Each structure stands twice: as structure tokens, then as C-alpha cells.
């Protein structure tokens, strides 16, 4: 996957652009990112915000090492998403928030 494909996947699956990065917000404060993808020229990093506010890299690699998901709602492999146990829940919460916001 390249930078554009990864960004498109993230935005289709509930991620939002927060601070210039595809991010997932806190359930109780959705405009405050707690998980983000930092997309650089040749690599992408998966980062999680620690309680103290500092970002910690938990996974990542070159774009060539990232494999697109086989199913629409699946996660790409090669980024370390398995190190963030609640990632699918955060993505679902974000998708739900977007759907319900369109009703208001």
C-alpha cells in the first residue's frame, strides 16, 4: 500500500484527520486523538498516546511491507495493529459517531 491508499482505507473505516494524521479519537472526547498513523515519505508508523500525553510508536514499517486487507472491514497487515487490542472497537465507535452525526 502507498500513502494515499492507506489514508483512503483509514478514512473509509472511521478514522478522521486530526492534527494532519489519520487518527482515532477518544470515545468521550472524539476530537482528541489517541491512536494515529504517521505517514512519512517511505514509512508509516502506528502511534498510541500515553496517559501522560506523549506519543509512543507501537508498530510500523515501509509502505511495501503493508499488505492491504482482503475484506472491506479488515485491518491491513504489517503495521502492528494487533498491539492495540481495542483498535476495532475504536474504529467502530468512530464510524457510529459519524453516522449519528449525520442525523443531527
Along the 104 residues of the chain, how does pLDDT read in single tens digits? 999 999 999 999 999 999 999 999 988 888 899 999 999 999 999 999 999 999 999 999 999 999 999 887 789 999 999 999 899 999 999 989 888 877 76
Q: What is the pTM of this model?
A: 0.90
Total number of domains in the chain: 1
* CA 41 to mean position of chain CA atoms: 18
Residue 74, SS3 per DSSP: coil
69: containing domain: 3-103
Nearest alpha-carbon partner for 83 in 50, 52, 47: 47
The three three-digit cell numbers of residue 60, written as one number: 510500523
The three three-digit cell numbers of residue 33, written as one number: 486523538
What's the chain's Rg over C-alpha atoms?
13
Amino acid at each position: 500500500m502507498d500513502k494515499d491508499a492507506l489514508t483512503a482505507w483509514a478514512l473509509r473505516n472511521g478514522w478522521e484527520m486530526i492534527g494532519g494524521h489519520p487518527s482515532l479519537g477518544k470515545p468521550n472526547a472524539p476530537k482528541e486523538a489517541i491512536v494515529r498513523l504517521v505517514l512519512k515519505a517511505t514509512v508509516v508508523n502506528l502511534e498510541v498516546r500515553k496517559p501522560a500525553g506523549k506519543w509512543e510508536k507501537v508498530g510500523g514499517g515501509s509502505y511495501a511491507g503493508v499488505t492491504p486487507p482482503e475484506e472491506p472491514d479488515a485491518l491491513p497487515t504489517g503495521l502492528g495493529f494487533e498491539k492495540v487490542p481495542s483498535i476495532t472497537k475504536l474504529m467502530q465507535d468512530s464510524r457510529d459517531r459519524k453516522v449519528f452525526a449525520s442525523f443531527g
